[in-house]
Amino acid sequence: MFHVTRRHVLTGSAAALVGALHHVPRIGALTPSAGPPAAQLIEDLVAANRILSDQGVLDGYGHVSARHDRDPARFLMSRSLAPELVTAADIMEYGPDSEPVDPRGRASYLERVIHGEIYRARPDVRAVVHSHSPSVIPFGITGVPLRPLFHMSAFLADGAPVWDIRAAAGGNTDMLVRTPALGRALAQALGPRAVALMRGHGVVTVGGGLPLVVFRSVYTEVNARLQAQAMGLGGRVTYLSPEEAKRAEASVAGTVGRPWELWKRKLRRDP
């Protein structure tokens, strides 16, 4: 009986310790690192930050992340910094709770839960972009659906739902996705799709890797700009049919590396 009790106590203590570690992740230093990510992944993440700035998707705000290659529960993202300025030294590891593992005094983006909760909800996703991509904003506030009007944006065929933070939070907020609950609600609105719009704020784009999420982010912005122009002409806009979109996406999928290499090369020409 004593033995059982003692075992129970030990087990209980161990469980309490694990529980304590699990439930105080805000003290990031207690969370062990998954180890160094592949150098190529860091290089691509830095490139993605700068490409998306070059392409007008990110400005001083917004962020791009990649799922950690050593632990799918974790992700990599810059410290709080304008994306165009990001270098390898700025990339930090984030745990499943979207808290930095080893911040060393470095600030994190306020909306990092967007990334953590999407990675949790979407095992197929390996890269996430959150931006305030300007041409996309009107489609989040007018009820006009963003739809694919050319082959490059065929990935929009499943729709780009509009997520309203006021409805999710049950009242007024500062519009920022600051809590895991709001991040989860946004991930739920995204569902299995590539893109979700955030009313009065921006957009999230996801993909199976950094080149794809960059491609989708750039062409979401281009499609939004072209769709507003097309609608402004006043005629009836013809969008891709679901079958056209399906075929176009399959064809374009194999070519995503081409603009990725081009966009990377342009960065190297910069001073």
93: enclosing H helix or E strand? strand 91-94
For residue 110, give Cα distances in angstroms to 99, 136, 138, 222, 268: 10, 21, 24, 27, 30
CA distance 32 to 71: 12
Kindly state the tokens that stand for 213.
Answer: 């999420």
CA distance 103 to 42: 17
Is-catalytic flag, 111? yes
Burial class of residue 83 (count of CB atoms within 10 Å of its CB; 0-12, 13-18, 19+): buried
For residue 108, give every residue at least 6 positions away whose Cβ sits within 8 Å of its Cβ, in sequence order, or none: 79, 80, 92, 94, 99, 100
Residue among 140, 122, 107, 108 at smallest CA distance from 224: 140
Q: Which of 43, 84, 99, 111 is catalytic?
A: 111
Catalytic center residues: 111
